[in-house]
Structure 1
Amino acid sequence: MKDFKVDTYDEAIDVIKEIGFLPLAKLIPNYPSLDSITPKEHWYTGSEFDPWMWRAKFPGDGAAAYGKFVKKKSVLISIELLPLVRDILGSSLSIKDRFRDGLMSREAVELYTLISENEGIDTRVLKVEAGMKDKEKKKPFDHALLELQGSMDIVVSGTKAKTNEAGEKNGWSSTSFETMNFWAKNHRVDESSIEKEDAKMMLRDHFAAICSPEAMKAFNKIFGF
């Protein structure tokens, strides 16, 4: 795989379009991540060249789906590859059926319902609405969000700044979420579905054309090629 050097947001979008799958941090051996292809000195500066700021722009612009979809790690997936990844990692069963069959936690169902009723909901608001603001609820809340991202049911839609009563920024921004169906429809992602094994074959062929054997081994574990 060629070496990528990225300085601007538009250059990062070009890389995502080219390789289709870009982790935020190191995840796949001999494979790029956003932090490995961008200058370290640009991170957390709050400037237009800060890749940490871009992570919220990608899903907002529809340039890539963003979330902790793989191994509980944040990754960016291109619009072109997203349908294949959803067919592999997602489920053909409804939320209700998965809960009935013991495949989904009660907390995940509750959070999904709240997100679907308030697309783009701020994490802070979601905690309050779910009655999970207390410290002892942090773990099940975080686990439920990871569960929903890992099953491709929700996607990060951006970030929202914390403000005071005067409307001034006050504290860290928080993540906001949408259901994957809502996000995909808004950004004109192909919503047709194919058989999981066919999706695996197509995704395997894509990565085989650009990856080293070591990287392919890692992708095989993730997607079950």
Structure 2
Amino acid sequence: MKLPIIVNARELADLVREIGFLPLFRSEIEGFSLQECTPAGYWFVKDVEGPWEWREEVAAGGEIAYAKLFNKKAGFISREWYPDFANYRRDGYDFDARYDDGLASMSSKRIMDVLLEYGDGLLSSDLKQKAGFVKDAAKGFDTAMTHLQMQTYITASRFEYKQDKEGRPYGWGVGRYAVTENVFGAEWVTSRYEAKPAESKERIMEHVAKLFPDANEKAIGKLIK
């Protein structure tokens, strides 16, 4: 499948809803990323809204997940497909059970414990501080955040900007992260739990294979792992 050219947030959202999920940057599968279907003139150009801004609009819409979701890199998953990713990636574990079985780090637990106290989530900078990742204890935050996003326990709910003295936004948007169930609803996120995790994995892999018939099984498996 050759993806269409994308030039705004609405087209991006429509594409994700149509094909189910989409990595932000080049992936193991040629042609399967927003980077490859957006003209270069839209990337990091002053006074031009591009993918970096589109992701913020899509994430704030509340129906398409945006986080590090594909081989520890950012991407989008539609409302239809997110429950399968949650079922597969969590492998039958809620976070507490994963931690109790020694499958999650203390760093991840510290982050989850804080986010469970803040239903609306926290900016990544505030979360880092409240979870105790400061000065000599700062190590491990980014790794834990990536793991929790990949395992679908947390997601970016929206992005916010710093403001100058005149109240004008500047710089890049800072992600606000929250427990996924608090963003999309527990009923939706867990709606595929009746299926075995392996069944969700197979469903996802078969879908990618239909979209990109030339992609080999190893590449697909690495992308969605």
Q: TM-score, normalised by structure 1?
A: 0.87
- What is the Cα deviation at residue 123 of structure 1? 0.9
RMSD in angstroms over aligned alpha carbons?
2.3
Q: Is the 8 A contact 2:56 2:159 kept in 1?
A: yes
For residues 128-168 of structure 1, the C-alpha deviation after alignment (integer angstroms, 9 at most, x for no partner) is 2122132x444311111112112110011121112356644
Q: Which amino acid aligns with 2:188?
A: V
Matched-pair contact (CA < 8 Å) for 1:115–1:121 = yes
- Which runs of structure 2 are paired with 1:66-215 in the superposition (5 Å)? 66-118=66-118, 119-134=120-135, 136-164=136-164, 167-169=167-169, 171-185=171-185, 189=188, 191-192=190-191, 193=193, 194-214=195-215
The Cα of 1:214 is off from its aligned counterpart by: 2.2
Partners of 2:63 and 2:184 within 8 A in 1: no
Unaligned runs of 5+ residues in structure 2 are none
Alignment CA distance shift 1:34-1:215 (3 Å): farther
Q: Compared with structure 1, are the counterparts of its residues 83 and 108 closer, same or farther at alpha carbon in structure 2 (3 Å cutoff)?
A: same
Deviations 1:43-88 (A, max 9, x none): 2236574111111111210241111122211111111111111111
1:4-23 to structure 2, matched below 5 A, reads 4-23=4-23
Distance 1:40 1:170 in 2: 23
Q: Is the contact made by 1:22 and 1:34 (CA closer than 8 Å) also made in structure 2?
A: yes
Percent of aligned positions with the same letter in both sequences?
27
CA contact (8 A) 1:13 1:63 kept: no
Provide the TM-score with structure 2 as the length reference: 0.87
CA 1:126–1:164: 2 relative to 1, 3 Å: farther
Gaps of 5+ in 1: none
